[in-house]
Amino acid sequence: MTTPSTPGGESAALIVGAGPGISASCARLFAESGLRVALAARNPEKPELKALEQSHGTTTFACDAANPSDVAALFSDVTAKLGRPVLVVHNIDGRTADAFQKSVNEVSPDAVLATLQNAAFSAFLVGQMAAKAMLENAPGPTGAKGTYIITNASAALKGFAKGAAFAMACHAKSALAQSMARELGPQGIHIVNVPIDCAIGRHQEDGTRRHWLAGETVDDNMADPDRIAETYLQLHRQHRSTWTNEVVLRPWTEKW
């Protein structure tokens, strides 16, 4: 199926929070599907991003997604070089080491605020600029002007002990997606919240898939980032008569 196009006939996708895992899988699949792919990261010199530039012709931009001026400049630069985006993915976890696995009594207010800024506030900033850009797009074959996908986590569905800051941020992203969908859906922009309720087994050079904390995958017991990317592209291609506004992904073995 053909994706919606910008007025110049070029279709651009932007992945914010780019790195290995979901972002790299999305970049490869989007590029292979005919989209011109922009990757944004605080550190644009990551080896994985350089490799994607060589293998799939992606373009990398430096951006602190929690900084309003950085995000505004990012969308301006992407539009100038690749065209207005029709697909934007916010793929930022946002957890800081100071907030990870800290009880309510020991986590610092600064760490909580940083988590909220890195995750929820950045999702708002990216979503705001995505909406402004996409509203200028001509409707595509399905009537859509663009898609904004927010990667979320298990904490969007349930707050874990010693995870208050992250649960706050993930719930905020879910609420943001709901509000944006109700406002922007009637204007032709598809907003999707995707809680990934499991560990993600990242592809390794030896062909295995591993998670930094959960270990090596066994019998597809962890989400495959390539399959997540396929879901994201499918969401982007949905007809507006059956838009999905939230989809939870988990492997068949996951206890929930």
Structural domains of the chain ordered from first start: 12-242 (3.40.50.720)
Contacts of 37 (CB under 8 A, 6+ apart): 12, 13, 14, 15, 27, 30, 31, 52, 56, 57, 58, 59
Q: What is the pLDDT of residue 215?
A: 65
**How remote is the C-alpha of 130 from its chain's centroid?**
12
Q: Which residues pair with 16 in a beta bridge?
A: 40, 90
- Give dist(CA 202, CA 216) in Å, integer: 9
Low-confidence ranges of the chain (pLDDT < 70): 1-10, 210-215
Residue 202 belongs to what H/E stretch? Answer: strand 202-203
Q: What is the pLDDT of residue 211?
A: 67
Beta strands in 43-167 (DSSP E): 59-62, 85-90, 146-153
Q: What is the pLDDT of residue 81?
A: 97
Q: What is the pLDDT of residue 8?
A: 36
Do residues 119 and 163 lie in contact, with contact meaning Cβ atoms separated by under 8 Å?
no
Beta strands in 52-115 (DSSP E): 59-62, 85-90
Burial category of 97 from C-beta neighbours within 10 Å (exposed 0-12, middle 13-18, buried 19 and up) = exposed
- Give dist(CA 175, CA 162) in Å, integer: 22
Q: What is the pLDDT of residue 255?
A: 86
Q: What is the pLDDT of residue 3?
A: 37
Q: What is the pLDDT of residue 145?
A: 96
pTM: 0.92
